[in-house]
Amino acid sequence: MSLARAGRIARLNRPCRPHVASRFSSSHAGEHDQHHHDAHADAIAFPREDFSAPIWRRFILYSLLAVGFYKFAPSPKEDNPFSRFLDQYRTPQEVWAAVNLKHLELSAQSQVDNLLVAEAKRPPVHRFRYPQAFEQYSPHLRPIGTTVDFGDLVIKGDKA
C-alpha cells in the first residue's frame, strides 16, 4: 500500500473537529447557573389546581343539562310539537323501502351481467390446415349417401 493512500485512510478514520471552538468552563459557571435558576423559579406562578377551574364548571353544567333533558324529554311515541316538526321534513319509510328494493334489483341485474361477460367464450373456429382436401377425392365410384355435396362450399380466404 502506498504512503499516500495510507495517509488518506488515516485522515478518514480520524474524528473531525468542529469548526467552532468549544467553550471551556470556568470556576464561577456553577454559581452563575444556580443564581440564574433561582431567579426564574420565583417569577413563574402556576395556577391553583382544583375543581374550581372553568372547564370543570362547564362539564358539570353540561352534564346536568344532559341528564335533565334525558329525564324530562318526551318519549319517541308521544305526540309533541318537536316530533311533528321533524316529521314534516323526514322522508317516509315507504319511499326508502322502494328505493332500497330498486337498488337491490339493479345490483342483482348488474351481477348477472357481470357473470355473463366473465364467463363468455368465443365460439370455436375449426380451421383446416389443408382445405384443398375437400377437392382431393374423386366424386365417382362412391356409394350413394356416403358423401356430402361440397359443391357450394366456399372456403374463407378464397376470392373466387
* 100 vs 22: which has the higher pLDDT: 100
* 24 vs 52: which has the higher pLDDT: 52
12 by Cβ neighbours in 10 Å (0-12 / 13-18 / 19+) ranks as exposed
Three-state secondary-structure class, residue 135: helix
Local confidence band at 79 (pLDDT 50, 70, 90 cut-offs):
confident
What is the average pLDDT across 94-121? 96
Examine the pLDDT at 108 and tell me if it is beyond 60: yes
What is the model's pTM? 0.34
Examine the pLDDT at 35 and tell me if it is beyond 60: no
Q: Are 147 and 139 in contact (CB under 8 A)?
A: yes
What ranges in the chain are assigned the alpha helix state H?
3-13, 29-43, 54-72, 81-89, 93-118
Domain segments of the chain: what residues? 75-119
Residues 6+ apart with CB under 8 A from 131: 155
Examine the pLDDT at 96 and tell me if it is beyond 80: yes
| Ranges 50-59, 71-80, 82-91, 137-146: which has the least confidence | 137-146
